[in-house]
Each structure stands twice: as C-alpha cells, then as structure tokens.
C-alpha cells in the first residue's frame, strides 16, 4: 500500500514542477490534494487533473497559509501532509560586480524562508488534530552546499534546512515528522531557462532529474518515518540523509 493512500495533502507551489509531480503521485495512490499556488491558472489545471482543490495563495502572506489549511479541513476534514514546496529564484547576487537588488532579495526571503515558517505554523494544529503527520519542505542542494554568487537562494535554502532541524524535535512528541528534500537539478520551468548557462560553467545538467524523481523521493522520505533530516536527492541514487554531525 502506498504511503499516500487516503492521505490529505496540502502542497504549496503545487501548480507546476515538483509540486505538480507530488500532487499527481498522491492522487494516483488514492490520496486527496489541495494545491496552493500563487498562479491560479496552473493551480486550477493541476487541481482538476488530480480531482483536488486549488486555493490561490501567496505563501509570503501568513493569512494565505492559514486559508490554505482551512480549505483542506473544510473539503476533506483533516490534514496529513504539508508539503511546503513553493519557491522562487528571485533574489540578489553577490560578488564584486553584482548590484544589490534589495527588492528581489526581500521577495526571495519572503517566499523561500517566510513561506516555510508561515506554512509550518499554519499546518501544525491541523496535523496535530489528525493525530500526527508529515511536514516536508522542498529546500535544495543549495541548502547544503553553496550555489556560488546566488546569495539569496543559497541563504534561504540553508535557512529552511535550519527551520526543519529546529522544528523536528519539538514536533516529535506530537507524531509530526519534519524533513527537507534537497534535490539537485530538476527539469521544471524554474530551471529550464538556466540550463545553457549552467552547462557553460560545467555543472552536471545531463543527469537532470524529472519532477517525478523528486516526488518518489518525497514518498520515500515520508514512508521512512524519520524526522529532522535534510535528504540529498540526486539522479540515479536513492535519497539519503545529509550527514550532519
Ligand atoms: P516551478 O517553477 O515549476 O514551480 C514552482 C511553483 O511555485 C509554481 O507553480 C509557482 O507559481 C509557485 N509559487 C512561486 N511563488 C509562490 C508563492 N509566493 N506562493 C505560492 N506559490 C508560489 O519550480 P520547481 O522547480 O518545481 O520548484 C519547486 C521547489 O523546488 C522550489 O522551492 C525550488 O526552489 C525547489 N528546487 C528546485 C530545483 C530545480 O532544479 N528545479 C532544485 C532544487 C530545489
């Protein structure tokens, strides 16, 4: 039986890429999905495809996270999985020639970091009311090792790994696991336009993963039942926890 069977999941950024693949995998296994996405067109498209519900939400807004959880409770009466996946490459760059883009930096922090803090805060009472559940954060390999010069992205992805590690011990008594997925490159609209530039600087874009590879890793991590880990997700190998000491 799939880990996802009969589970109710809220997926932020579920309208595209990794979030869409997780939504499809959960629905295919007999679970229920609420797709929270800032992009109404894509959010609705995925929700329709998986027989779920779309809620328009900007994760940078605490109230939008609360509203998304409320939709899961109204429609399905419970919440088992909160996949805090929405993210953006918006941010500022560093280095001697880089201009500081304050607005882009603030937005990157608001979506990638604040969105996870607010999403977890909104989900915990609902997960607790279900007797426990799983919070899964899509961080990135850039949450473990630096993406050179990509200051806001690297910093926010490291930060959400910190959020995961900080929350896990206090949620263990409530039977809520908290883990981060740290994928390498995944073929999604976020990364596709960057591929030529990444290849040019010698990054391994040939073994880029499909979004469903990350969805399979999400299922593996939840099934494994541990908590507080940042899982390295790379092409061709099973997900493995980053060895923090
Ligand atoms: P994507 O662009 O395909 O999907 C991201 C989705 O998030 C989109 O539907 C978008 O509308 C939504 N979104 C963006 N900002 C939002 C906001 N403020 N509120 C609600 N929804 C919002 O990209 P993806 O590659 O599937 O990215 C998903 C996550 O995976 C991100 O956190 C990203 O940083 C992370 N990630 C991606 C890769 C990769 O190579 N693609 C690698 C590691 C980590």
Which 3-state string (H, E, C) describes 96-108? CCCCCCHHHHHHH
Report how far residue 136's alpha carbon sits from residue 230's, in angstroms, rounded to the nearest whole number. 10
pTM for the whole structure: 0.98
Q: Enter the tokens of residue 242.
A: 């980053």
Atom of ligand 1 nearest to the CA of 187: 41
Exposed/middle/buried for residue 173 (C-beta within 10 Å: 0-12, 13-18, 19+): exposed
**pLDDT, tens digit (0-9, with 9 covering 90-100), for 94-143:** 999 999 999 999 999 999 999 999 999 999 999 999 999 999 999 999 99
In the block, residue with structure tokens 């883990």:
179
Instruction: Tokens for 93, please give them.
Output: 């760059």
85 within ligand 1 shell (Cβ under 6 A)? yes
pLDDT tops 80 at residue 21: yes
Interior/surface letters 94-121, b for 16+ CB within 10 angstroms, e for the rest: eeeeeeeeeebbbbbbbbbbbbbbbbbe
Q: Residue 14: pLDDT band by 50, 70, 90 thresholds?
A: very high
Q: Taking a C-beta distance cutoff of 8 angstroms, is the pair 177, 218 a contact?
A: no
Q: Measured in angstroms, how far is the CA atom of residue 101 from the centroid of ligand 1?
A: 21
Helix (H) or strand (E) holding 186: none
* Strand-by-strand arrangement of the 133-138 sheet: 53-56, 32-37, 8-12, 81-84, 133-138, 176-183, 230-233, 240-241
Judge if ipTM > 0.95: yes
Across all residues in the chain, what is the average pLDDT? 96
Alpha-carbon gap, residue 244 to 166, rounded angstroms? 13
Distance 51 CA to ligand 1 centre (A): 21
Cβ(185) – ligand 1 distance below 6 Å: yes
Q: Ligand 1: which of 15, 18, 136 to mutate, judged by most atoms within 8 Å of the beta carbon?
A: 18
pLDDT in tens, 51-75: 999 999 999 999 999 999 999 999 9
Nearest-CA residue for ligand 1 atom 5 is 13
Dist. CA 111 → ligand 1 center (Å): 10
Is 61 a pocket residue for ligand 1 (Cβ < 6 Å)?
Answer: no
CA of 173 to the centre of ligand 1 (A): 31
Per the CB < 8 A criterion, the answer to whether 136 and 82 are in contact is yes
Residues in CB range of 96: below 8 A, 6 or more apart? none
Residues in the chain: 245
Angle at 111 between CA 109 and CA 114, to 5 degrees: 70
């Amino acid at each position: 039986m799939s880990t996802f069977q009969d589970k109710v999941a809220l997926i932020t950024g579920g309208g595209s890429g990794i979030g869409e693949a997780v939504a499809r995998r959960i629905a295919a296994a007999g679970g229920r999905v609420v797709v929270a996405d800032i992009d109404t067109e894509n959010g609705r498209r995925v929700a329709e495809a998986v027989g779920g519900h779309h809620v328009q939400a900007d994760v940078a807004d605490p109230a939008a996270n609360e509203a998304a959880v409320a939709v899961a409770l109204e429609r399905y009466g419970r919440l088992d999985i909160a996949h805090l996946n929405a993210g953006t490459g918006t941010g500022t760059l560093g280095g001697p020639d880089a201009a500081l883009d304050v607005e882009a930096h603030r937005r990157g922090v608001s979506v990638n970091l604040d969105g996870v803090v607010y999403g977890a805060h909104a989900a915990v009472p609902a997960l607790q009311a279900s007797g426990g559940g799983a919070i899964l954060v899509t961080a990135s390999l850039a949450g473990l090792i630096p993406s050179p010069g990509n200051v806001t992205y690297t910093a926010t992805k490291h930060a959400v790994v910190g959020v995961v590690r900080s929350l896990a011990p206090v949620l263990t008594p409530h039977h809520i696991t908290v883990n981060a997925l740290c994928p390498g490159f995944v073929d999604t609209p976020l990364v596709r336009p960057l591929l030529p530039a990444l290849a040019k600087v010698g990054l391994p874009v040939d073994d880029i993963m499909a979004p469903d590879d990350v969805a399979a890793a999400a299922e593996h991590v939840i099934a494994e039942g541990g908590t507080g880990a940042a899982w390295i997700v790379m092409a061709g190998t099973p997900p493995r926890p980053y060895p923090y000491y």
